[in-house]
Amino acid sequence: MVPSLLFEIAIIGILGIGSQWVAWKFRLPAIVVMSITGLLVGPIFGILDPQAHFGDMYGPIISAAVAIILFEGSLNLNFKELRGLGRPVFRISTLGAFIAWIAGSLTAHYVAGLSWAVAFVIGGLFIVTGPTVIMPLLRQAKLKPRPAKILKWEGIVVDPIGALVAVFAFEIITVITADDPDGTQLLLFFAASIFAAILGWALGKGLGWMFETGHVPEFLKSPFVVVVVIFCFTLADTVMHETGLLAVTAMGITLANMGISSISDMRHFKENISVLLISTIFIMLTASLEVETLLEIFSPNIIGYVLLMMFLVRPLSIFLSTIGTGLSFNEKALVGWIAPRGIVALTVSGYFAAILLDAGYEDAQILTSLTFALVFITVLAHGFSIGWLARKLDLSSEGNPGALIIGSNPFTARLAQSLNESNIPVIIVDSAWENLSHARKAAVPFYHGDMLSEQTEHMLDTIPYDYLLAITDDDAYNSLACTTFLPEYGRTNVFKISPYTHYKDGYSSGVVSKVGGRILFDKKFSLDILNEKLDAGFVLRQTTLTEKYGLKQYLDDKDESTVFLYLITSAGVLKFFSEEMRTVPSVGDKIVSLTPPIKEQEKIKVKLETVRKNEE
């Protein structure tokens, strides 16, 4: 047991973020690591018991966190993403959800042994997946755009729908089983749902207007949004339980589609908050489970129910609902398999277990065990299989780490050509068609558009590219691009060409040298200098370090004018040279450099000498 509640909060935070770090370090599903961590410190070793220690605050904390997480996810739902995907997303979110509800309810009754009333409530709830589990899996798996967007949209849109379907089923049961049936409660439910959707839309529109007209200062925008999200969720949930999820989803989608420039800035803040909340909430939920709940998971009826939900109900709902939508069999197979349940299922099932027991349905006591079995098994199965299955179905963008190069010019075209020859994914992005002639001549992939435009964000698939290189002749644009994409690519993976100018007393530049992105190669090599070297006949040469020809000999042999560009480690990892680079090349690594054509000239001389001797 921990000495105080404050200490427990600190431990939960450390365990949550620590689990995320372990998952990142060892390339494991984050949800799996967090769930196992929570079980170890909770029911297994009894170190933490958040539900007991937090008391009455436990439920509201979980609910507020779920609201913020769901809002953050819906803030990414821009309708422009649905180009070509509108029909499958709509079908899966409506017809697919209905099929999953009916089939899941039948399975709950005939396999899990639940009464019809409880089966239809829990069947409605289990159609959800949700951003708490889908987003970490998508970040981990690097799927191709189509299946990734379908899973993202389904997870966020169906989340509130599942909770509402469960409420709807319960209201119907209440009316049917009442001694004096009255449909007033059903009408109130529909009215509350409409109110929640309108409330979310209105608050979203109001926030957008305030931001656009300058009524909220920049430093208050993110806190302002968080407070309004919690208010929106609480107000709708007070009117009718579980409609708060619908309200915050409507609010997020409204803001996402208003074209507000500051929303993209806030999105990074929301992502950070979301990661923190997901990490801590999963630890809290799993640590609060009881040993009896874990043991009950292994009962045959619960195991059978979970397996049928995974291998029959989910694939059936996806394949039937996507008929005629243009999705390939492989895409249907992947989407039909991936359906992990998360926080919403755990929290809402706890709520319904209590009210169903109060209503006299004694079989509702196994809902917590049933829900956790479905959550934990689907998280494990889908977390470990999504990457493997995506590769098998050719729906994965994983492979060698690639590079996205902003700016088309002679140097970037030659650099991209070299990366292409080494089987490194690469693409050149430029808004000027005439500049792209260099990329076209080099026969390397390119995209015509401004990297900072919203259209490029939706049209260009950036998943295969781990590095961003800003190499245009506009130093300010390079710095702006690096600053914009730092949160997405990470500080160590964003580079810009040197903006420095050489003076007698050293190198100097404006503010752009201090903003965003590491200096690529070396600060003494600007883009003009690199292009001049190419014009002078410099070539890109690849050298493999061996036991006989190590780094020291290579450095001794190199010309002083050589520019080190990048290296590919023996494990296939791409790394670009910079002044901040700490990696020391070792045996088996391939170093690519821009070098003077001395060796080529020597080879030509040898050939000419050989020809001359043969003629003599």
Task: Provide the CATH number for the domain around residue 347.
Answer: 1.20.1530.20
Q: Are residues 464 and 372 part of one domain? A: no
Are 237 and 277 part of one and the same domain? yes
Among 357, 392, 427, identify where a domain stops. 392
pLDDT at site 53: 83
Least confident segment among 328-337, 413-422, 455-464, 536-545: 455-464
**For residue 265, is it within any domain?**
yes
For residue 481, pLDDT beyond 80: yes
Mean pLDDT of 582-610: 68
pLDDT digits 0-9 by tens, 269-305: 666 777 788 788 878 878 887 787 778 788 888 899 9
**Is 133 part of a structural domain of the chain?**
yes
Range of the domain at 125: 59-392
| Long-range CB pairs of 346-350, under 8 A, 24+ apart, other chains included | 346/285, 346/371, 346/372, 346/375, 347/62, 347/63, 347/66, 347/285, 348/125, 348/162, 348/163, 348/166, 348/242, 349/122, 349/125
Tell me the CATH number at 481: 3.40.50.720
Task: Give the count of domains, the chain.
Answer: 2
The sheet carrying 402-406 orders its strands as 446-448, 426-430, 402-406, 465-470, 494-496, 518-519
The mean predicted confidence, pLDDT, of the chain is 79
* Higher pLDDT, residue 162 or 468: 468
- Taking the C-alpha atoms of residue 296 and residue 102, their distance in angstroms, rounded to an integer, is 25
Separation between Cα atoms, residue 216 and residue 223, nearest integer Å: 11
> Quick one: 366 and 469 in the same domain?
no
136: its two tokens: 């970490």
Of the candidates 317, 265, 424, the one whose C-alpha atom is nearest the C-alpha of residue 94 is 317
Q: Are residues 324 and 265 in the same domain?
A: yes
Q: Are residues 456 and 551 in the same domain?
A: yes
Q: Is residue 28 part of a domain?
A: no
Please report, as a single letter, which amino acid is at residue 50: P
pLDDT category at 106 given cuts 50, 70, 90 is very high
166 and 271 in a common domain: yes
Is residue 98 a contact partner of residue 161, using CB atoms and an 8 Å limit?
Answer: no
Cα separation, 257 vs 413, whole angstroms: 36
Q: What is the pLDDT of residue 202?
A: 93
- Range list of β-strands (E), 205-355: none
Q: Are residues 446 and 486 in the same domain?
A: yes
Question: How does residue 107 score in pLDDT terms, banded at 50, 70 and 90?
Answer: very high
Between CA 492 and CA 517 the distance in angstroms is: 8
pTM for the complete prediction? 0.66
For residues 155 and 276, membership in a common domain is answered with yes
